[in-house]
Structures are given as C-alpha cells and as structure tokens.
Chains A and B, each alone.
Chain A
Amino acid sequence: MENIKKKFLGFGLGLRHDHYEEILETKPAVDWFEILTENYLVPGGKPLYYLDQIRAQYPLVMHGVSLSIGSMDPLDKKYLSSVKELMQRVEPKWISDHLCWTGVHGKNTHDLLPLPYTEEAVAHIANRLMQVQEFLGQRILIENVSSYVNFKDSEMTEWEFITEIATRADCLILLDVNNVYVSSVNHEFSAEDYIDYLPIERVYQIHLAGHSDMGDYIIDTHDHAIVDSVWKLYEKTIQRMGMISTMIERDDHIPPLNELLKELNYAKKIAKNCAVLA
C-alpha cells in the first residue's frame, strides 16, 4: 500500500461548477482544489472536461460523500471501483470521505448520519477502512462530521472514537474545524479538548466552513461565511499542530470566487501568524 507523505499543500478551495470558467480564465492564486468525488462519477460531458482542464493546472484532492464506512451494509465494490477509476484519472494528492454512514438495506439517505461511539463501531469501521485502503492501494483520510444527536449506547467521546479508528486502521484524518465547533455546541463539549486529543501525525487536511446558528443548536449548512468562533478554533489547531493543508468548503449560496479568495487569504494570515509564534 502506498504510504502518502504528509505534505503541506497550502491553502485550497472546494471546486464548484459555478467557478469553472473563472478559474480557467483568471488562474486564481489557489494552491489546490478539492473535488467532490461523486460529481465526477459520470460517463463524460462538461464535468469531466472541466476536471481535466483544471487538473492540468492545479493539484487536486478527492473528497467523497458515499463511502458509508460506518454502515452495516456490505461495502459497495462497484462504487469503490468507480472511485478507483477516477483516482487513476485525477491522480489526487489524497482521497477522503466521512466518518459516518449514509444508509442501510440498500437505501441511501445522501446524508452523513451519526454513529454511536462504541467499541463495536470502532472494530467494524476500522476493519472496513483497512479493506478500502487495501482496495485503493493507499491510505485514506476520514473526516469528522457535524452531529445533532448522541446515542445512549456511546462508550467514549467523539475524539477518542476517531483517534481509535484511525490508529487501528492506520488511516489519516481530515479535521473539519467547523464540524468540531458545531458538534461542541450541539453536545456541549469542549472543542479545545477535541483538538488537543487528536494525533497530530495523522491530521493531513483541515476543512473550514460556515454554518447556521439556530439559537439552541447549530446546523452545518456550508452556506455562510466562516464565523469568528471557528476562526479562533482554527488558530488553536494550527498552534498545536503546525501548518496543515487547509481548504474552505462552500456548498450552497456559492459566492463569487473573489469572496472565497478573501476568506482563504484570511485563513492564510491566521496560519502564518501562528507559524511565526510557534
């Protein structure tokens, strides 16, 4: 299995079709782009055309939403084969998906559903991750998701859960700082404790995003600018972990590219200040 080296890719953005033309015309100062794997699991046409064009000019990483690594359904080999095929086309720096499940009994809710933090789930997921990594021929990154429920059966914290799985499966971590913040509010835990516990050597990438504050709880909507509390948590993360490849995710109410570039520059400024202080 290929051992992907921890490399600082710099500061990236999620590649969205609204920006395809502008990216090719203006070649913005973005170090890399993250693609949503499923958007390119199509036979042909514009999505793959633009993917190839942008790939020729920028490093890419692949980010999936359908692996359903925590599901009790069998792994979907057909899906994994199509991911592998895309991987061979794109040659991404790395591949990631979420620490969640999306459905059982052949159904797909197309949502990142929460898991109980149990030994049974750790063993189940670590085993499946090893199978996936073996099939793809490389280690993958798993991302912490935002959650809105806690299960009565949970036996550990979320940060213990993700760390234990990553250790047993020898996989890597995509740390979504916004998701840590969202879940910390929804479940009243310390976001700092979460960040402090994670194994630094396994955290290869960071996601930053906006959310919707509903008063008593927060929903991870990816449709707003990043808020101060998340910037502060990002600062704390970089202070502890050093420079980590960072990108901004925006999935709805996609603003002009320029607006995202300003947000990305702000992330750069925070990270560089932290690096100077470190």
Chain B
Amino acid sequence: MSKLSLIQNDFQQCVLDSTHEIAHVMQTKKVSVEARMGIYVNAYLSRLAEALAVNYPVLKKQMGDEQFYDLCFSYVQQFPSEFRSIRWFGHQFPDFLKKEKEDFSIVELARFEWILTEVFDAADADAMTMEDIAAMDPNVWATMKFIPHPTVRRLNLKWNVAALWRSVSEETPCPVIEKSSKPIAWIFWRKDKVNQFSSMTEDEAWAIDAMMHGDTFAEICEGLCEWFSEDEVAMRAASLLKSWIAAGLISRT
C-alpha cells in the first residue's frame, strides 16, 4: 500500500472514530495532536448533524436539541455518508429512527419531513392544463395514461404528524399526538415552487397510486367501481382528474 493510502486510511479512521490513535500527524509544543485532530472530528460530526437539522427542522423542535443531536451523532456513526452532496445524507434517518425509537409518531414525522425535502428540489415539468385535456382526441381516452408530475410523492400516515408539522412550522399551539384507527393517505407535490400536501379519501388514493403505477384511465375507472356504482364512476373519475389538473399533479408530457 502506498504511503498516501496509509496516511488517508489512518486519518479517516481517526475522523470517523476519535478513539483511533493517529500515527502520521506531527506533535507540536503549542497544540497537541489530540486537539488538532479534535478540530476535524468535531467539524465532521457537527457538519453532518447540522445537515440533518436542516432536513428535519420540525423533528428537531419536537424532540428538543439534546435528544435530536444524540440521535444525529449515532446516525452519523452508523451510516457514514457515501454521497458527494451532503443534501442526501439524511435519507436513511427515518429508518434509523424506526430501530432507535419506540415512538412511531416520531418516525412518521421524519418520513413526512424527508418527503418534503424530496418535493422541494424534485425535477421541474410543465403541468397539464384543462386546455390540454380539451384538445385531446376522445378516441384515446380509454387507453390514455396520465403521467404524475415528477414532484408527486405518496405516504400513508397513522399519526396526525401533518397537523403537528404545520403547527410547529407556524408556531401555533401543537395538537395532541393521536393515532387514527386506520392509515390516512397523503399526497405531496410542488406547485409554483411551493411545497403542497393534502390528505385523500381512500378511492382517490387508490386512483392516484394506479396512475403512478401506469394504469390507463379506463383501468382507473374500472378500479373505482369498488367505491362507486357504474352510473357514478365516470363522474367521479372526471371529477378526480379535474381536481388533479387544477392542483398541478399531472405532467404535460
């Protein structure tokens, strides 16, 4: 192994685990090797913990600094970054919390916040308009596949973390943390550069998931028959499509 490799292995080991004794650094009278390496160790931990604080601001407020940063430091140790951009470092934090925390509302809050970061800088695309729909050939409707906007994300949540997130963000009184009897479907997307999220009824969530899965409009209508009679289903499908277009959930191409 080359000298440079040996030095870098030794140095990185010390940064990732401060108990490792470094061999290649010069001792000086003025500042000890421990103090000098401590600067790198602290910078490493605090930079990555701060990246998590930026991605999970409401979680941090909800947990309090001490508990939040303790978990951050454990996460940094267990999941050293393999990303070029620090922006993606926190992607496994919700799964990590699932193992560390018994309180599942905290895990759901983390999932909620991470999805918001994904929506924030997901790819841009023009949204479909009602004029686009009006210009479509009626013969293609049955086989038509609508493409979800690239910012669209889905999550089913058992806890009222959306209300909690909103109250903490807006600094209004927090709701009591409650678990619903069954999961509630949520959709996230970006419109006019601003993140949006909304809960959905069971049939709408199914229809959105079917669209994201690549089902045709006819297949979506057929699936909606589970909730609606044959007479009602066309009306419901048209109404959903109209609301999705108004919200900017469908891509033009």
User: What is the predominant secondary structure among interface residues of chain A facing chain B?
Assistant: loop
The number of chain A residues with a CB under 8 A from chain B is 44
B167 interface residue (CB < 8 Å to A): no
Chain B residues with Cβ below 8 Å from A43 are: 121-124, 150
Chain B residues touching A, range: 35 or more
Complex: A188 Cα to B82 Cα, angstroms: 35
Q: Are B81 and A110 in contact (CB under 8 A)?
A: yes
Residue of A nearest to B2 (CB): A120
B243 part of interface (Cβ distance < 8 Å): no
A-B contact pairs, 7 of them (CB 8 A): A38-B87, A44-B121, A45-B151, A66-B85, A107-B82, A113-B8, A216-B30
A149 touches B36 (CB 8 A): yes
Q: Mark B148-182, 1 if CB is under 8 A from A, else 0.
A: 00110000000000000000000000000000000
| Distance of A189 from chain B, by nearest CB (Å) | 12
User: Shortest CB–CB separation between residue A67 and chain B, in angstroms?
Assistant: 9
CB-contacts of A211-259 with B (<8 A): 216-217, 219
User: Most A CB atoms within 10 A — which of B7, B24, B51, B84?
Assistant: B84
Minimum distance in angstroms from A114 CB to a CB of chain B: 8
Interface residue B143 (Cβ < 8 Å from any Cβ of A): no
Q: Is A127 an interface residue (CB 8 A)?
A: no
Q: Is the CB of B39 within 8 A of A45?
A: no
Instruction: Give the residues from 18 to 71 in chain B that come closer than 8 angstroms, CB to CB, to chain A.
Output: 24-26, 28, 30-31, 33, 35-37, 39-40, 43-44, 47-48, 51
Q: Are B121 and A47 in contact (CB under 8 A)?
A: yes
Binds A, one of B9-17, B96-104, B130-138, B234-242: B9-17
Q: Determine if A152 and B40 form an interchain contact, defined as CB atoms under 8 angstroms apart.
A: no
Please measure, in the bound complex, the distance between the C-alpha atom of A113 and the C-alpha atom of B13, giving whole angstroms: 13
Q: Is the CB of B37 within 8 A of A153?
A: no
| Chain B residues within an 8 Å CB radius of A79 | 84
Q: How far is the CA of A46 from the CA of B119 in the complex (A)?
A: 11
Q: Are A45 and B121 within 8 A (Cβ)?
A: yes
Is residue A72 contacting chain B, with contact meaning CB distance below 8 A? yes
Contact A38 B84 (CB under 8 A): yes
Residue of B nearest to A44 (CB): B124
Separation in Å of the B244 CB from the closest CB of chain A? 20
